[in-house]
Structure 1
Amino acid sequence: MTRVNTSRNPNREAALQEISHKGGRDAGKGRFLREWLRSPLGVGALSPSSAALGTLMASFVPDDPDALVIELGPGTGAVTRCLLQRGIAAERLACVEYAPEFCGLLRLRYPGICIVQGDAYTPPAALLGWIDGRRIAAVVSSLPLMARPEAERSRALDRYLALLPPGAPFIQFTYSPSLPVKPDAVGATAFPSRWIKRNLPPARVVVYRREGAAFPSAGNDDAEPRPSSA
């Protein structure tokens, strides 16, 4: 079993100190790396998602000006920015983020968005209160699912699919060649996209749908989503 060493490490502490003095355009990356150094499994990636990956994820969100969009694990807001650029109004978007520092950064960068601090693997009560029975267009997830046991991944996806109307997408990115959740385990279909090689590390998008699932309509013609049951 691989264990994460959380004891005090001089090299890690030095890196944290250096990052804390960064500012300007590198501030978001600095915060992201600082959180990664503190909790590698909690953050999952060594750098924020690329614009290409975020744009691809946002392209799978249906055009529905009256429905809500939920983002899980937004980090510093790389994908959040792409969702707003896609035309999703800030008041229709809620972000669930575990790290307090990221929550503070998101509130400063994106006023008007509902920022919920909490563990996104279970829909927090504050998020359910914000939804208040309104229709949800999509869930967009940057959670590091592969860092969790398979059963926990399936439970998390199942909980959010239960909030979505039939055919609405749960949009997840992954670095893994295998699907983060087996579709049969949650009674859904899965559509993997092409690999985004410009992302670090390379990643792809998987779109899960339950009942009445339509083929994903991506704004990026290069997406090449295809059904999968594996």
Structure 2
Amino acid sequence: MTASSKRRLAADPLNRTGDDARFFKGWLKRPFVTGAVSPSSRALGRAMSRFVPDGVVEAGDVVLELGPGTGVVTQTLIDRGVAEENLVLVEYSAEFCALLKARFPRATILEGDAYAPLEPGALGGRRLGTIVSSLPLFTKPDAMRETLIGGALDTLPPGHPFIQFSYALTLPVKPERLGAQVELSPWVKLNLPPARVIVYRRTAP
């Protein structure tokens, strides 16, 4: 854990009980937006963060996180070595956005629909290196899932990952429909419910 991570935890610990309550409240209000009744576990976040390429971390490329919620996965990205200022977080919930701004003041927090294309200039002219998604894709129709992941791969450099987690046995989108390759992690049993990481990449034509 980095020194900045330790300071943040000392000043504003990621209170699991409080975050669970916030997530459950969000789920009650918008079940198909929140998608889960509790935040992802740190074990799942670490499993996702391992797929961020070393080159992205070293080059200072932007890591775009879709649906960060209360910031559990965000913190594991920082622990992985991603600089906080290189994080761009897109979150629908105004309450979660306020929490994220307090916890990660150097990150760029965008309140809005993560399924919509980013506004021009959202990345500040920097190169996008990786997309990490905690969106509940299976609450959306097939066409919307395909549009999201396909559009994400269109914006990423060849070979760079779109990282998603899922509780389902099936893939959110078959890779051949995207002209992509897919890599799966082992099931993360220290998550409730157990989940696995799905990584889509598209190589250069």
TM range (shorter): 0.7 to 0.9
Residue number in structure 2 paired with 1:82: 76
TM-score (norm 1): 0.78
In the TM superposition, residue 61 of structure 1 has moved relative to its aligned partner by 0.3
Q: Distance in 2 between matches of 1:108 and 1:123?
A: 25
Q: Distance in 1 between matches of 2:191 and 2:108?
A: 27
2:124 maps to 1:124: no
2:21 maps to 1:30: yes
Q: Distance in 2 between matches of 1:169 and 1:137?
A: 8
Q: Distance in 2 between matches of 1:91 and 1:130?
A: 13
In the TM superposition, residue 27 of structure 1 has moved relative to its aligned partner by 2.1
- Which runs of no fewer than 5 residues in structure 2 stay unpaired? 1-14
Computing the radius of gyration over CA atoms, which structure comes out larger, 1 or 2?
1
Give the aligned CA root-mean-square deviation in angstroms. Answer: 1.6
Q: Write the mapping of 1:37-76 to structure 2, written as runs, cut at 5 A.
A: 37-63=28-54, 64=56, 65=58, 66-76=60-70
Matched residue type, 1:56: A
Task: Confirm or deny: 8 A CA contact 2:20 2:37 kept in the other structure.
Answer: no
Secondary structure of the residue aligned to 2:88 is strand
Q: 1:158 aligns with which of 150, 156, 179?
A: 150
Task: Confirm or deny: 8 A CA contact 2:93 2:111 kept in the other structure.
Answer: yes
Number of paired residues?
A: 189
Q: Distance in 2 between matches of 1:153 and 1:189?
A: 16
Q: What do residues 39-71 of structure 1 show as CA deviations (whole Å, max 9, x unaligned)?
A: 111111111001110001001001233211000
2:139 maps to 1:147: yes
Task: Confirm or deny: 8 A CA contact 1:55 1:82 kept in the other structure.
Answer: yes
Residue number in structure 2 paired with 1:209: 201
Task: Confirm or deny: 8 A CA contact 1:166 1:210 kept in the other structure.
Answer: yes
Residue number in structure 1 paired with 2:89: 95
In the TM superposition, residue 25 of structure 1 has moved relative to its aligned partner by 5.2
Q: Distance in 2 between matches of 1:123 and 1:26?
A: 33
CA pair 67-153 structure 1, distance change in 2 beyond 3 A: same
The 10-residue stretch of structure 1 (181-190 or 48-57) with the greater mean CA deviation from structure 2: 181-190
Identity %: 52
Secondary structure of the residue aligned to 1:154 is helix
In the TM superposition, residue 181 of structure 1 has moved relative to its aligned partner by 1.1
TM-score (norm 2): 0.88
Q: Distance in 2 between matches of 1:148 and 1:25?
A: 28
Task: Confirm or deny: 8 A CA contact 1:36 1:43 kept in the other structure.
Answer: yes
Task: Confirm or deny: 8 A CA contact 1:49 1:199 kept in the other structure.
Answer: yes
